[in-house]
Structure 1
Amino acid sequence: MSLNIASRSTLVAHLVITLWLFLVVPTQAAEPAQSVAVSGLKVSNATLQLPIPGTHNSAVYLHLQNTGTKPETVVGVSTAAAAKAQLHSHTSVDGMMRMRPVESLTIAPGKTLVFESGSYHIMLLGVEPSIATGDTVELTLELNSGKTAQIMARAVSRYDGADHSHHH
C-alpha cells in the first residue's frame, strides 16, 4: 500500500496527537485522591509548595472540611517528605506577622478550615530535596480521638508557569 505525502502527514499528525494525549495530558491533569473518610473529615486542594531554591522549609495548603456531626480536632501531622511537620498559624503581633506552631486545630461540624498562606498551614522543616513538581506526597493527620488520616498533596512550585521572558 502506498501513501501519498498528504496522507503520511495526516497519519503522523494523528500519531503525534494520540501520543500526546496518552503521555502528556494525564501527567499534567492527574490529581491525587485527596479525600479522607476518617471521622467525617474531607480534604481537598492539598498542595505542597516546594521550597524556594537554596532553602529547605516549606508549607502544605489544603481545605479541611468536617462533614460529621461533632467537632474534630487535629493534634499533629507527620510525613516522610520532611524531617519535621507542624501545624502552624500566622498571627499579627505589634504589627508584625509571626509564624507560630499550634497545638491543635478544631473544626466544627459542617465547617471548613482553609490552610493557606498567611493563615493556618502545615509547616514542613527539612523538605526532602528529591521532591519535584507534580510529585505526590503523603501526610498523616493525627486526631485527638487517636485516629489518623492519610492525605495526599501534590507538589507545586511558585515558579510553575512563570513567564521568564523578561530575563536576559
Structure 2
Amino acid sequence: MRLTQLSILLGATLLGAQALAHDFTVGDIHVNHPWSRALPPVAPTGAAYLVLENKGDRTDRLIGAASTIAGRVELHQHIHQDGLMKMQQIDSVEIAPGAQVEFKPGGHHLMLFGLQQPLVEGSSYPMTLSFEHAGEVEVEVMVTGEPAPASPNHDAHSHH
C-alpha cells in the first residue's frame, strides 16, 4: 500500500513539472511557455504569447497559426505611429539562427478572433503554429491570470 501511495505522489509530481515546463519543439524551433490571459466570458478576441527560439543554423519564420477555439488567428505587432501605439497584422515573424523572439503584451502576439469559448484561468487550448522551414507543431496554450508567470518583461499597460 505504501508503494502505491508513493507511486501516485511521484506521478503527480512529474505531471506537475511537465505542465510547468510547457515546451514544444519542431525541427530547429523551440516554443517556450505559450500562454493567454484570462478574459471575461463575453470577450470576442484574445491574444496568445510565447517565446520562439531558433536552435538551427538557418533563419526560419513563423508564417501562421490556427486554433479550434477561434475563428481565425493572426500574427500581430505593436508599433509606434504618430505618437500612438497601434496594433497591426504582419505576415510573418523572423527567427534568426541562435535568436529568441518573445511574443508579449505590447509587442508581437497571436491575436485570436471570434473566440468559440471563454479563456478561463487554469484552462488550456490547442494551437497549431506553422513555420516556413520547420513545419507545423501543435502546442498547448495555458490560460493564466494577471500577470503571466513566465514573462519577466510583462507590459501591464497592454489592452488585449
Bigger fraction of residues in strand:
2
Change (3 A) 1:111 1:129: same
Q: What is the Cα-based RMSD across aligned positions, in Å?
A: 2.7
Q: Calculate the TM-score normalised by the size of structure 2.
A: 0.74
* Cα shift at 1:95: 0.7
Structure 1 stretches of 5 or more lacking a match? 1-20, 161-168
- What residue ranges of structure 2 are gaps of 5+ in the alignment? 1-8, 149-160
1:142-167, CA deviations, whole angstroms, 9 ceiling, x for partnerless residues? 1223821222210113389xxxxxxx
The aligned amino acid for 1:151 is V
1:14 is aligned to: none
Alignment match, 1:7: none
Residues 1:103 and 2:91 are matched in the alignment? yes
Work out the percentage of aligned pairs sharing the same amino acid.
25
Query: Residue 164 of structure 1 aligns with which residue?
Result: none
Deviations 1:91-134 (A, max 9, x none): 01101111111001110000000000010000111223254222
Letter of the 2:53 counterpart: Q
Normalised by the length of structure 1, the TM-score is 0.71
Letter of the aligned partner of 2:31 in structure 1?
A: V
- Of the three residues 57, 67, 86, the one matched with 1:79 is 67
Kindly provide the CA deviation profile for residues 41-71 of structure 1, in whole angstroms up to 9, marking residues without a partner as x. 1111210123345422111111100011111
Partners of 2:49 and 2:147 lie apart in 1 by: 17
- Label 1:158 to 1:64 Cα distance change in 2 as closer, same or farther (>3 A): same
The answer (yes or no) to whether the contact 1:64–1:113 under 8 Å persists in 2 is: yes
Structure 1 outlier segments of 4+, above 6 Å: 24-29
Q: Say if 1:87 and 1:101, in contact at 8 Å, map to a contact too.
A: yes
Matched to 2:23, the amino acid is Q
Corresponding residue for residue 58 of structure 2: 70
**Is the 1:32–1:152 Cα contact (8 Å) retained in structure 2?**
no
1:31 to 8, 17, 20: 20
For residues 53 and 158 of structure 1, what CA distance do their matches in structure 2 show? 16
